[in-house]
Structure 1
Amino acid sequence: MHRRDVFLLCLCAACQVRAQPAAEALAARLRAGRCVVLWRHAQTTPGVGDPPGFRLGDCASQRNLSAEGRDQARAAGEWFKVRSLRPAGVRSSAWCRCRDTADLAFGSHVHWAPLDSTFGRAGEPDGRRQALLDRLAAMPAGSFEVWVTHQVNIGAFTGESVAMGEAVIVDAGGGVIGRSSFG
């Protein structure tokens, strides 16, 4: 083995050791409750938005999860399972990529309209932000939920930009207290 290979192995091991305490700190924070995991759907097929003429009730007309995204969602579900973390609820946007992310990770979800995409619909009046804040404020200690949605919504609510499959953890007041890709 070359010195460079030994160095890379040691570097990878060190990163793994540092990642473990961060994962356990995140798990402890979720157990404490009064927060939500605001999760951007897992990796999709290439593209931005949906094809022209897409229909919510027809997954074949939408941009969907890639094979990598399906694996990513399952791995996230395993991350929660290994740590015995059970969300009090899993809510999702109506878009297939969000529903599939939620179902692959947790087995089921409930559609919640405030999580539906606003992409291309800027300026539509609605009470989305207030609905999110109200639900967050009602989250009890020892309980958390997972909300699967879209980057446009996460950015509008938190000011944060997240990659596909990444989440921000939001406290009861709407403040970002962490982020993770559950990997």
Structure 2
Amino acid sequence: MKLIKIIIVLFISFNTPIVANSNEDLQNLLSEGGKLIFIRHAYAPGSGDPDNFDLSSCASQRNLSQEGIYQAMTINSFFLKSNMSSNLVLSSEWCRCKQTAKYAFKNYKTKSFLNSFFSQKFAHNKAKQIKELKRFIKEWNGKGNLIFVTHYVVIFEILNLSVSSGEIVIADRDFNILARQKTSNN
């Protein structure tokens, strides 16, 4: 029985992503540069996209709530403490991602390969988007860190990891998870 418990603990240990031991460890990891940082958009009440969804109209989309805006500002504070420079921030074209990027980083560019493919309307884009995202990462020069503000489905597809709103996941260029940081939406 004791052997079975040891095997279970070892199995869980090898399948659990590494999490930085402290904020200092996390800051050191980020200051090295060359990391992929995936951020799920901050809290936007609801799930999926409304029936009348229009990419060109934020009024037709789920947007950040006040809690989500606060959460994005918390992301900003986290990165300010990191003293990171030369980061490239890319966002999905969905308004909740652009709002998160705006409050967290101010300067960002949008890329369609970060868009959601959760709904039936966009599901056919999944393979093409993931291929484009991987190609972009492969061609990236590795200076600073590459920050992606995107959706649950994109992060799950690329890292095989479930994330909550506003969660930050740091990976290397081979998509190995190095650390995770949750942000509060309260």
TM-score by length of 1: 0.81
| TM superposition shift of 1:135 | 2.9
**Corresponding position of 2:99:** 100
Secondary structure of 1:119's partner?
coil
Structure 1: give runs of 5+ residues left out of the alignment: 1-18
Letter in 2 for 1:94: E
- Of all paired residues, the percent bearing the same amino acid is 34
**Corresponding position of 1:44:** 44
Matched, 1:70 2:69: yes
**Corresponding position of 1:14:** none
Secondary structure of 1:127's partner?
helix
User: 2: CA distance between counterparts of 1:176 and 1:128?
Assistant: 21
Structure 2: give runs of 5+ residues left out of the alignment: 1-18
Secondary structure of 1:172's partner?
coil
Question: After alignment, is 171-180 or 62-71 more displaced?
Answer: 171-180
What do residues 79-117 of structure 1 show as CA deviations (whole Å, max 9, x unaligned)? 111231235211000000000000101112100111011
Secondary structure of 1:91's partner?
strand
**Corresponding position of 1:7:** none
Letter in 2 for 1:135: F
What do residues 106-140 of structure 1 show as CA deviations (whole Å, max 9, x unaligned)? 11210011101111233446432233223333444
Over the residues paired in the alignment, what is the CA RMSD in angstroms? 2.1
Secondary structure of 2:116's partner?
coil
**Corresponding position of 1:79:** 78
User: 2: CA distance between counterparts of 1:89 and 1:77?
Assistant: 14
Structure 1 residue ranges, 4+ long, deviating more than 6 angstroms after superposition: none
For the structure 1 residues 20 and 111, does the alpha-carbon distance in structure 2 shift closer, same or farther, using more than 3 Å as the test? closer
